Structure 1
Amino acid sequence: MGIIQVAQHAEDLERAVGFYSDLLQQEPAVRFEPPGLVFFVLDGVRLLLERGAPSTLLYFSVPDVRSRIEELRAAGVEIVGEPTRIFRHEDATLGPAGTDEWMAFIRDSEGNTVGLVSRYGGLSIR
């Protein structure tokens, strides 16, 4: 069993499409109008933007959360949690052993919180 789709609330679909296109650095895979559904495809998992969907806390993997947060800050995105080391993977239960997991949080165009996650291999980053 695996995750095939997650949905995120988008009050203003066009505004949300612009935000997520910039954040994900890709255009939507498909749009259905009506009823007002937009899909992005990320590593085989569909991200659905829809007015009727509830707000969901999504976490996206990024190569370097610290630099990505600075890019988003410069673009005017609200940062709600600065990059922070949250976990060290001593074993491979939740991620590659020997890596540090860092997270930061932003607010999307619709008021939803979105997490950004990076793993740094064996580095002691402050």
Structure 2
Amino acid sequence: MRAAQIAQHADDLHRATAFYTALLGAPPTATFDPPGLVFFDLDGQRLLLDRGAPSALLYFLVDDVTATVDRLRASGTPIETEPHVIFTHHDATLGPANTEEVHAFIRDTENNLVGLIEHRPL
């Protein structure tokens, strides 16, 4: 079993769509307005922006968390937590072996907290 879809709250679909298009580097795959639904493809899993959805805490894997935070900061995205190491993967139980897991947290345009993760080689 694997997750098929994640829903994220968005008061303003146009604003949220622009934010996630920039963050993900890809446009939505489908928009239905009304009723107010925007879908993105996350490598076979759907991200749904929906006015009626509750806020979710999403974590996105990025190649370089520091560069991603710098790019988002330059565009005015609020940075909640600067990049920091939270865990070292000595084996492959929770991530690639011999990497540090680096996290940062930002706020999207709808005030949802969003996590960014990098697996940085030791």
TM-score band (shorter)?
A: over 0.9
- 1:46-74 Cα deviation digits (max 9, x unpaired): 00000000000000011000111011111
Q: Distance in 1 between matches of 2:3 and 2:90?
A: 26
Match status 1:3 vs 2:12: no
Q: Which runs of 5+ in 2 are unaligned?
A: none
Query: What is aligned with 1:87?
Result: 87
Q: Tell me which stretches of 4 or more aligned residues in structure 1 moved more than 6 Å.
A: none
Unaligned runs of 5+ in 1: none
- Tell me the percent identity: 58
Task: Give the aligned length.
Answer: 122
Task: Map 1:14-25; keep pairs closer than 5 Å.
Answer: 14-25=14-25
Query: SS where residue 15 of structure 1 aligns?
Result: helix
Q: Give the structure 2 partner of residue 112 of structure 1.
A: 112
Amino acid across the alignment from 2:112: N
How far, CA to CA, are the matches of 2:87 and 2:45 in structure 1? 25
Structure 2 CA distance, aligned partners of 1:84 and 1:29? Answer: 33
Q: Following the alignment from structure 1 to structure 2, what is the Cα–Cα distance between the partners of residues 82 and 52?
A: 30
Aligned ranges 1:23-42 → 2 under 5 Å? 23-42=23-42
- Normalising by structure 1, report the TM-score: 0.95
**TM-score w.r.t. length of structure 2:** 0.98
State how far apart, in whole Å, the 1-side matches of 2:70 and 2:107 are.
Answer: 14
Please state whether the residue corresponding to 1:20 is helix, strand or coil. helix
Map of 2:102 onto structure 1: 102
**Alignment RMSD:** 0.6
